[in-house]
């Protein structure tokens, strides 16, 4: 099934950024009044370490009896994942999510069910009065869970241990304040799932089997789909989107605002040039295709550039390690002739080298040694490969840019 | 400064719901300036500042990821629905349908056509969103390295390349499928097409904040950004080769901010 690969891609992507948590690229957000947000934000530094340890010990006992019901499972799951993240907690900007106590339906989408399938099973067995159960849960545990919610949400945005420091400068604070308000409204506080068309097909199948989008329940769909790692929250939100898309097909193609303006723009095109709607649409389509084409080209270029940068970096590091062995030999001053040769042969190295140079410049001859070593070895070793690789990239760049001077000239004419 | 201005323009001309989802380029630039000016402080402080910078970048990336995946999910649903809708219309009001009616058929198809084109446009704008944010990140990292002598850029950008928001393959695939659908359901006569292309040479005014306007703005912006800068190097993108560039430039976007 597609679910696993999609999830794993997301996870590995996330883990590349450090301990982003099991849930992958996730930010928080339940809707929350901003004043509440500030309050929580301030509280965090004090309580961040406490809840996970304390809750871990007390939670299982407190909820042992509640396990058979679904109330307990939710809370337990909420506490357990935090053990993973306690070391990386940090007050940080995108916190917006504390529970919105009024909206029980959207509460507690935090818990990372990906790791606790047994809890998910228990959820599945419950009936659709889940929301009322959540309400109860909120009333019981709100003080304990609230900081944990915020803390868990903080989890994905942390990376390095050093981050537990506060940055003193005021303008950084302003940046931090900017972020919460923007992400408060959009990112859901649940593990993010990357949907694919195949997964959606399976979803639609399941929904149809259950009698249509109105009659199908998240629990039922989840059971039918039988996809590992898919949680009821994912299904719930997807079902909601699906229902919206089906029963308001006009506005699903864009908000009503957008709809108006696209009508507006088409009629304005119509008036101005006497173009029919068909032609206007065709024109729009052409321009869109053009943009997409350019985006693909640009993206490929960007990938290649970085690929090459990575390759050069690797080469450089190889040389650095080789350098250590040769350190005993004389520290020759850099040979200007060698430098110019190398520059001609592998021009793309120059930027990498200059940044390396800045970094390494400790006044010893090692930098110069490294450079000349790199140049010499590249000539011997991968010199040819690198040169062709560099050549290819340069050729692509040249091709792409050959019409640009003309365009620039035209542009200046038109602007007048 | 040029990119910052371009980005701001793009944001202003983007779909309203998207405006706060872009990179906070200006703020990050301020931070870099701050960090570099406090360079004289101890190593400890420097590592700290870098950690903070990385942390903020990660927040931005999270923001992109969440937004992107949310939109992508919507697109998947809408794509499927569109196909179903077309099927339904053909089967109901089409010539071989259950209640054939040319008027209804034409009417519904016209609506569908408009919707497909706008849908296509929105998806392309999402790809553009991904790209512009990536470009911004690459630039800010380059600035950081340059100003602080750090070596953050290369490894960090590698991680960015793996992020969900940068992996736009699925959306691109949906875009292409949309193009196929339109070609299938609304086939174009060859002569018509050539004629139309000639007609398009007239200058027209694109009003409103619609998808079309945003697309044109995005294209022009992209071209501007890549026009070549003072810091052009081997990690920079070359100037853009934009066919029909004069056509696109002839769309005068009537906004108070001139696109120069």
Torsion of Cα atoms, A354 then A355 then A360 then A366, to 10°: -30
B86 touches chain A (CB under 8 A): no
Which of these ranges, A215-224, B14-23, B184-193, has the smallest mean pLDDT?
A: B184-193
Structural domain of residue B116, as residue ranges? Answer: 2-224
Q: Which of residues 163-222 of B touch A (CB under 8 A)?
A: 163-165, 167-168, 170, 172, 174-175, 179, 182, 188, 196, 199-200, 202, 204-213, 215-216, 218-219, 222
Both structure tokens of A32: 């929350």
pLDDT at site B49: 82
Other C-beta atoms within 10 Å of A240: how many? 12
B218 confidence band (pLDDT: 50, 70, 90): confident
Work out the burial of residue B230: count CB atoms within 10 Å of its CB; fewer than 13 is exposed, 13-18 middle, 19 or more buried: exposed
Residues of A in contact with B51 (CB under 8 A): 159-160, 162-163, 165
- Does residue B148 surpass a pLDDT of 50? yes
pLDDT at site B149: 85
B109 touches chain A (CB under 8 A): no
- Does residue B179 surpass a pLDDT of 90? yes
B115 touches chain A (CB under 8 A): yes
Residue of B29, B33, B55 best to disrupt the A interface, most CBs of A under 10 A: B55
pLDDT at site A331: 56
The reply to whether residue A245 touches residue B74, judged by beta carbons under 8 angstroms, is: yes
SS (H, E, C) chain A: CCHHHHHHHHHHHHHHCCCCCCCCCCCCCCCCCHHHHHHHHHHHHHHCCHHHHHHHHHHHHHHHCCCCCHHHHHHHHHHCCHHHHHHHCCCCCCCCCCCCCCCHHHCCCCCCHHHCHHHHHHHHHCCCCHHHHHHHHHHHHHHHHHHHHHHHHHHHHCCCHHHHCCCCCHHHHHHHHHHHHHHHCCCCCCCCCCCCHHHHHHHHHHHHHCCCCCCCCHHHHHHHHCCCCCCHHHHHHHHHHHHHHHHCHHHHCCCHHHHHHHHHHHHHHHHHHCCCHHHHHHHHHHHHHHHHHHHHHHHHHHHHHHHHHHHHHHHHHHHHHHHHHHCCCCCCCCCHHHHHHHHHHCCCHHHHHHHHHHHHCCCCCHHHHHHHHHHHHHHHCCHHHHHHHHHHHHHHHHHHHCCHHHHHHHHHHHHC
B168 confidence band (pLDDT: 50, 70, 90): very high
Both structure tokens of A177: 């304040």
pLDDT at site B46: 72
Q: Which of residues 202-231 of A touch B (CB under 8 A)?
A: 204
Give the C-alpha separation, B141 to B60, whole Å.
13
**Cα distances (angstroms) measured from residue B10 to each of B13, B171, B244:** 5, 20, 21
Give the C-alpha separation, B15 to B210, whole Å.
7
- Does residue B88 surpass a pLDDT of 50? yes
The mean per-residue pLDDT over the stretch B229-243 comes to 70
* Closest chain B residue to A284, measured at CA: B212
Both structure tokens of A247: 């029963």
Q: Which residues pair with B252 in a beta bridge?
A: B205
A288 touches chain B (CB under 8 A): yes
The reply to whether residue B77 touches residue A414, judged by beta carbons under 8 angstroms, is: no
In a domain, B195, yes or no: yes
Q: Over pLDDT 90: what percentage of chain A?
A: 16
A224 confidence band (pLDDT: 50, 70, 90): very high
Higher local confidence (pLDDT), B189 or B152: B152
DSSP state of A48: S
Give the C-alpha separation, B29 to B137, whole Å.
11
Nearest C-alpha of chain A: how many angstroms from B177? Answer: 12
Residues of A in contact with B212 (CB under 8 A): 262, 265, 284, 287-288
Torsion of Cα atoms, A217 then A221 then A224 then A230, to 10°: -140
Give the C-alpha separation, A163 to A267, whole Å.
54
Give the end-to-end CA distance of chain A in Å, rounded to a whole number.
57
Give the C-alpha separation, B7 to B132, whole Å.
8
The reply to whether residue B117 touches residue A302, judged by beta carbons under 8 angstroms, is: no
- Does residue A178 surpass a pLDDT of 60? no
pTM tops 0.90, yes or no: no
Both structure tokens of A259: 């709809």
- Does residue A195 surpass a pLDDT of 90? yes
Q: Where are the domains positioned within chain A?
A: 197-246, 268-324
B249 confidence band (pLDDT: 50, 70, 90): confident
pLDDT at site B140: 93
Long-range CB contact pairs, B175-178, < 8 A, 24+: B175/A292, B175/B120, B175/B123, B175/B124, B175/B127, B177/B79, B178/B79, B178/B116, B178/B119, B178/B120, B178/B123
pLDDT at site A98: 41
Which of these ranges, A242-246, A330-334, B5-9, has the smallest mean pLDDT?
A: A330-334
Residue A258: which of B49, B168, B211 has the nearest Cβ? B211
Reported ipTM: 0.84
DSSP state of A332: P
H or E segment and range at residue A406: helix A404-415
pLDDT at site B252: 56
In a domain, B260, yes or no: no
Higher local confidence (pLDDT), A152 or B191: B191
pLDDT at site A243: 93
In a domain, B19, yes or no: yes
Give the end-to-end CA distance of chain B in Å, rounded to a whole number.
14
Residue A158 and residue A90 in contact, taking contact as beta carbons nearer than 8 Å: yes
Write the DSSP assignment of A50-79 as a string of letters: HHHHHHHHHHHHHHHTTTTSHHHHHHHHHH
In a domain, B172, yes or no: yes
Q: Helix (H, G, I), strand (E, B), or coil: what is residue B253?
A: strand
The reply to whether residue B238 touches residue A397, judged by beta carbons under 8 angstroms, is: yes
B192 confidence band (pLDDT: 50, 70, 90): low
Q: Let me know the angle formed at the C-alpha of A225 by A219 and A231, rounded to the nearest 5 degrees.
A: 55
Q: What is the total residue count of chain A? A: 416
The pLDDT mean for chain B works out to 82
**A-B C-beta contacts closer than 8 Å:** 337
Residue B160 and residue B68 in contact, taking contact as beta carbons nearer than 8 Å: no
Other C-beta atoms within 10 Å of A378: how many? 22
In a domain, B240, yes or no: no
The reply to whether residue B121 touches residue A402, judged by beta carbons under 8 angstroms, is: no
Give the C-alpha separation, A325 to A328, whole Å.
7
In a domain, B102, yes or no: yes
Residue A288: which of B58, B124, B154 has the nearest Cβ? B124
Residue B210: which of A265, A281, A399 has the nearest Cβ? A265
The mean per-residue pLDDT over the stretch B133-157 comes to 91
Instruction: Show Cβ contacts of residue B70 under 8 Å, excluding neighbours closer than 6 positions.
Output: A186, A188
Residue B50 and residue A217 in contact, taking contact as beta carbons nearer than 8 Å: no
Nearest C-alpha of chain A: how many angstroms from B140? Answer: 15
The reply to whether residue B149 touches residue A359, judged by beta carbons under 8 angstroms, is: yes
Give the C-alpha separation, A124 to A127, whole Å.
8
Residue of B149, B157, B164 best to disrupt the A interface, most CBs of A under 10 A: B164
Q: Which residues pair with B205 in a beta bridge?
A: B252
Instruction: Show Cβ contacts of residue B1 under 8 Å, excluding neighbours closer than 6 positions.
Output: none
Nearest C-alpha of chain A: how many angstroms from B104? Answer: 16
Residue B118: which of A175, A262, A275 has the nearest Cβ? A262
Residue A17: which of B159, B227, B234 has the nearest Cβ? B159
Residue A122 and residue A70 in contact, taking contact as beta carbons nearer than 8 Å: yes
Q: Please state the domain count of chain B.
A: 1
Give the C-alpha separation, B195 to B199, whole Å.
6
Q: Looking at the domain A197-246, which fold is it? A: Arc Repressor Mutant, subunit A (1.10.10)
Give the C-alpha separation, A209 to A205, whole Å.
6
Task: Write the pLDDT tens digit of every residue in A12-38.
Answer: 444 444 443 334 343 444 344 444 434
pLDDT at site B223: 77
Closest CA to B21 of B130, B161, B127: B130
Q: Which of residues 16-75 of B touch A (CB under 8 A)?
A: 16-17, 20-21, 24, 27-28, 30-31, 34, 47-49, 51-52, 54-56, 58-59, 61-63, 65-67, 69-70, 72-74
The reply to whether residue B114 touches residue A204, judged by beta carbons under 8 angstroms, is: no
Closest CA to A192 of A113, A270, A121: A113
Nearest C-alpha of chain A: how many angstroms from B96? Answer: 24
Higher local confidence (pLDDT), B38 or A99: B38
Give the C-alpha separation, A49 to A154, whole Å.
12
The pLDDT mean for chain A works out to 56
pLDDT at site B136: 94
Give the C-alpha separation, B177 to B174, whole Å.
5
A185 confidence band (pLDDT: 50, 70, 90): very low
Nearest C-alpha of chain A: how many angstroms from B108? Answer: 11
* Closest chain B residue to A17, measured at CA: B159
The mean per-residue pLDDT over the stretch A106-133 comes to 46
Residue owning tokens 């929105």: B122
Task: Write the pLDDT tens digit of every residue in B23-78.
Answer: 999 999 998 888 877 654 555 577 788 888 999 999 999 999 999 999 999 999 99
pLDDT at site A241: 93
In a domain, B230, yes or no: no
- Does residue B259 surpass a pLDDT of 80? no
* Closest chain A residue to B48, measured at CA: A162
Closest CA to B126 of B178, B175, B63, B197: B175
The reply to whether residue A9 touches residue B119, judged by beta carbons under 8 angstroms, is: no
Nearest C-alpha of chain B: how many angstroms from A67? Answer: 32
Q: Helix (H, G, I), strand (E, B), or coil: what is residue B145?
A: helix
In a domain, B198, yes or no: yes
A251 touches chain B (CB under 8 A): no
Residue owning tokens 């029980």: A104
The reply to whether residue A289 touches residue B179, judged by beta carbons under 8 angstroms, is: yes
The mean per-residue pLDDT over the stretch B131-151 comes to 91
Task: Write the pLDDT tens digit of every residue in A282-316.
Answer: 889 999 999 999 999 999 999 999 999 889 888 98
Which of these ranges, A155-164, A276-285, B102-111, has the smallest mean pLDDT?
A: A155-164
The reply to whether residue B145 touches residue A355, judged by beta carbons under 8 angstroms, is: yes
pLDDT at site B13: 84
């Amino acid at each position: 099934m597609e679910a696993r690969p999609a999830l794993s891609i997301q996870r590995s992507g996330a883990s590349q950024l450090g301990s982003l948590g099991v849930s992958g690229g996730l930010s928080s957000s339940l809707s929350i009044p901003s004043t509440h947000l500030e309050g929580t934000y301030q509280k965090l530094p004090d309580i961040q370490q406490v809840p996970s340890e304390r809750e871990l010990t007390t939670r299982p006992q407190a909820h042992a009896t509640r396990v058979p019901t679904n109330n307990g499972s939710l809370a337990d799951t909420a506490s357990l994942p935090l053990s993973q993240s306690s070391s990386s907690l940090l007050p940080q900007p995108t916190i917006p999510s504390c529970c919105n106590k009024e909206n029980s339906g959207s509460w507690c989408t935090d818990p990372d069910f990906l790791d606790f399938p047994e809890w998910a099973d228990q959820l599945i067995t419950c009936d659709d009065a889940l929301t009322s159960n959540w309400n109860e849960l909120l009333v019981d545990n709100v003080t304990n869970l609230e900081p944990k919610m915020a803390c868990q949400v903080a989890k994905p945005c942390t990376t390095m241990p050093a981050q537990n420091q506060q940055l003193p400068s005021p303008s950084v604070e302003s940046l931090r304040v900017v972020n919460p308000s923007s992400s408060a409204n959009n990112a859901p506080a649940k593990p993010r799932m990357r949907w694919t068309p195949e997964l959606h097909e399976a979803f639609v199948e399941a929904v149809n089997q259950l009698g249509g989008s109105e009659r199908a329940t998240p629990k039922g769909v989840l059971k039918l789909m039988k996809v590992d790692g898919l949680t009821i929250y994912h299904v719930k939100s997807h079902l909601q989107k699906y229902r919206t898309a089906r029963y308001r097909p006009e506005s699903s193609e864009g908000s009503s605002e957008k709809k108006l303006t696209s009508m507006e723009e088409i009629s304005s095109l119509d008036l101005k040039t006497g173009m029919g709607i068909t032609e206007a649409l065709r024109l729009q389509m052409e321009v869109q295709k053009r943009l997409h084409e350019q985006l693909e080209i640009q993206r490929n270029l960007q990938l290649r550039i970085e690929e090459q940068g990575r390759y050069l970096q690797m080469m450089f590091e190889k040389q650095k390690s080789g350098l250590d062995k040769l350190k005993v030999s004389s520290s020759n001053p850099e040979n200007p002739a060698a430098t110019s040769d190398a520059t001609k042969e592998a021009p793309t190295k120059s930027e990498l080298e200059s940044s390396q140079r800045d970094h390494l410049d400790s006044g010893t001859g090692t930098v110069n040694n490294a450079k000349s070593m790199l140049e010499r070895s590249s000539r011997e070793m991968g010199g040819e490969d690198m040169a062709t690789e560099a050549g290819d990239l340069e050729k692509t760049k040249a091709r792409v840019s050959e019409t640009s001077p003309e365009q620039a000239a035209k542009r200046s004419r038109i602007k007048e | 400064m040029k990119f910052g201005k371009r980005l701001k323009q793009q944001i202003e001309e983007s779909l309203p719901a998207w405006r706060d989802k872009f990179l906070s380029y200006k703020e990050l630039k301020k931070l870099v300036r701050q960090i570099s000016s406090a360079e004289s402080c101890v190593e400890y402080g420097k590592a700290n500042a870098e950690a903070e910078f990385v942390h903020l970048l990660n927040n931005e990336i999270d923001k992109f990821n969440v937004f992107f995946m949310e939109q992508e999910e919507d697109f998947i649903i809408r794509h499927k629905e569109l196909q179903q809708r077309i099927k339904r219309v053909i089967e109901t009001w089409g010539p071989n349908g259950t209640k054939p009616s040319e008027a209804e058929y034409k009417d519904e198809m016209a609506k569908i056509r408009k919707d497909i084109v706008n849908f296509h446009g929105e998806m392309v704008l999402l790809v553009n969103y991904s790209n512009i944010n990536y470009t911004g990140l690459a630039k800010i990292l380059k600035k950081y390295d340059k100003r602080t002598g750090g070596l953050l850029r290369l490894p960090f950008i590698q991680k960015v390349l793996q992020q969900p928001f940068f992996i736009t393959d699925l959306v691109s695939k949906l875009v292409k499928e949309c193009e196929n659908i339109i070609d299938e359901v609304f086939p174009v006569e060859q002569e018509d097409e050539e004629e139309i292309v000639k007609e398009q040479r007239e200058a027209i005014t694109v009003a409103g904040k619609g998808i079309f306007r945003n697309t044109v703005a995005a294209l022009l912006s992209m071209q501007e950004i890549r026009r070549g800068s003072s810091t052009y190097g081997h990690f920079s993108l070359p100037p853009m080769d934009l066919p029909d560039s004069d056509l696109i430039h002839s769309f005068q976007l009537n906004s108070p901010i001139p696109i120069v």
